[in-house]
Homo-oligomer: A and B are copies of this chain.
Amino acid sequence: MTQPRYTAANLIDFTASLFTAAGMPRDRAEVVGKYLVEGDLMGHDTHGMAQAPGYLNNLLEGKMPAAGEIDVISDKTVASVWDGQYLSGVWLTWKAVDEASRRAKEHGLAAISIRRSHHIACLAAFLEIATDQGLAVLLVCSDPSVKAVAPFGATEPLFTPNPIAFGYPTSGDPVLIDISASGTTMGLAMRAKGEGGRLPGEWLIGADGKATDDPEALFTDPPGAFLPLGGMDRGHKGFGLGLMAEALTSGLNGFGRSQAPTQWGASVYVQVIDPEAFGGREAFEHETGFLAEACRAARPIPGTTGARMPGDGALSRKRAALADGVLLHPSILPSLTPLAEKLGVALPEAQ
């Protein structure tokens, strides 16, 4: 049986229609649809439409307000704090990258830290908003309501995987980095657990202090935890990155774990840099393009095709999906079908 393929436009319209039917203004719902589907186009399929059921349920329960405005807590020319009021994190992040890009083009750099955002889905999906304008962008988030990763040297989960995404333009394709400061992400661990399987590496630590690939280690009493990036020997490095993310998000916006929030959400940091204000866009893209080409041409590990730049795979999957149609992960539409029926939204038609 051939798997069905969908056009990106149909998936965006379907997703936007679900959010609209659940009460969100259509213009915001279209932003949410666009950046969720962008995750699937890039192949980051745990952080695209797979997040929609959780968001829609929070919307229907009133935990994510359907509408309402951002509360601007502080606003200097290049430094702002927004209280996102748990509005859609996808919409808030899009808006923050857009606004910080505008300000960076005027001043060279600009940052916005957002407290009490809802979950923001796939960080990589937002980077091209800036790189398409010749800008570099740093996007970081944490969730102060969730404890998953242990500090290096401990087994107790205390903070989140804390993704750090950084996008920048080159003379060719942009480079789109999106890594968590832990060995693996919540999405992948939960998918492995759901399938009764193991992770591809020992990226967790059991309560016994031993590295493991078994996602069940997260559910013992007391629980184990995600290991920081670098694992049992180099995990002080991932721990440092995770702490940096916590400082840029909940530190700068002043709302975090000390308040012990329980609502699923995100604390977000967006910073945009305009190379034109430094050594110039042309010199920047020449230099970054030179290194990208050198990396792609580097002597490969024997028997492999060698190095790809971060984003190369995602951009190639996106181009293929736009040309040939999107193959959704098989769990996605079944998870949305009950909500689509409840909200009276027709499932997307295959190509």
Q: Scoring A residues 286 to 326 as 1 if CB is less than 8 Å from chain B, else 0, what string do you get?
A: 11101100110011111111111110000000000000000
Chain B residues with Cβ below 8 Å from A168 are 244, 247, 251
Q: Scoring A residues 138 to 171 as 1 if CB is less than 8 Å from chain B, else 0, what string do you get?
A: 0000000000001111111011000000101000
Cβ contact within 8 Å between A108 and B291:
no
Chain B residues with Cβ below 8 Å from A302 are 155, 208-209
Chain B residues with Cβ below 8 Å from A300 are 153-155
Q: What residue of chain B has the Cβ atom nearest to residue A296's Cβ?
A: B151
Number of A residues, CB within 8 Å of B: 95
For the complex, what is the distance from the CA of A240 to the CA of B152, rounded to whole Å?
21
Q: Is A183 part of the contact surface with B, judged by Cβ < 8 Å?
A: yes
Cβ contact within 8 Å between A287 and B257:
yes
For the complex, what is the distance from the CA of A109 to the CA of B77, rounded to whole Å?
10
Copies in the complex: 2
Q: What residue of chain B has the Cβ atom nearest to residue A305's Cβ?
A: B153
For the complex, what is the distance from the CA of A233 to the CA of B201, rounded to whole Å?
8
Least distance between A254 CB and chain B CB atoms (Å): 3
Cβ contact within 8 Å between A179 and B241:
yes
Chain B residues with Cβ below 8 Å from A273 are 79, 111, 248, 252
**24 A–B contact pairs at CB < 8 A?**
A74-B279, A74-B280, A78-B107, A79-B107, A79-B109, A109-B109, A154-B295, A154-B306, A155-B298, A155-B302, A156-B299, A168-B247, A175-B247, A177-B240, A208-B302, A209-B303, A230-B230, A246-B288, A247-B288, A250-B287, A252-B278, A255-B283, A256-B291, A258-B291
Name the one of B79, B237, B301 contacting A274, with C-beta atoms under 8 angstroms: B79
Q: Is A136 part of the contact surface with B, judged by Cβ < 8 Å?
A: yes
Q: Is A222 part of the contact surface with B, judged by Cβ < 8 Å?
A: yes
For the complex, what is the distance from the CA of A302 to the CA of B78, rounded to whole Å?
46
Name the one of B73, B175, B244 contacting A279, with C-beta atoms under 8 angstroms: B73
Q: Is A115 part of the contact surface with B, judged by Cβ < 8 Å?
A: yes
Q: Scoring A residues 228 to 248 as 1 if CB is less than 8 Å from chain B, else 0, what string do you get?
A: 011101101111110110111
Q: Is A342 part of the contact surface with B, judged by Cβ < 8 Å?
A: no
Q: What residue of chain B has the Cβ atom nearest to residue A308's Cβ?
A: B153
Cβ contact within 8 Å between B307 and A151:
yes
Q: What residue of chain B has the Cβ atom nearest to residue A205's Cβ?
A: B301
Least distance between A101 CB and chain B CB atoms (Å): 15
Least distance between A255 CB and chain B CB atoms (Å): 7
Chain B residues with Cβ below 8 Å from A183 are 234
Cβ contact within 8 Å between B154 and A247:
no
Given contacts A76-B107, A151-B306, A236-B310, 4 further A-B contacts (CB under 8 A): A74-B279, A78-B78, A209-B301, A252-B284
For the complex, what is the distance from the CA of A300 to the CA of B205, rounded to whole Å?
11
Cβ contact within 8 Å between A108 and B77:
yes
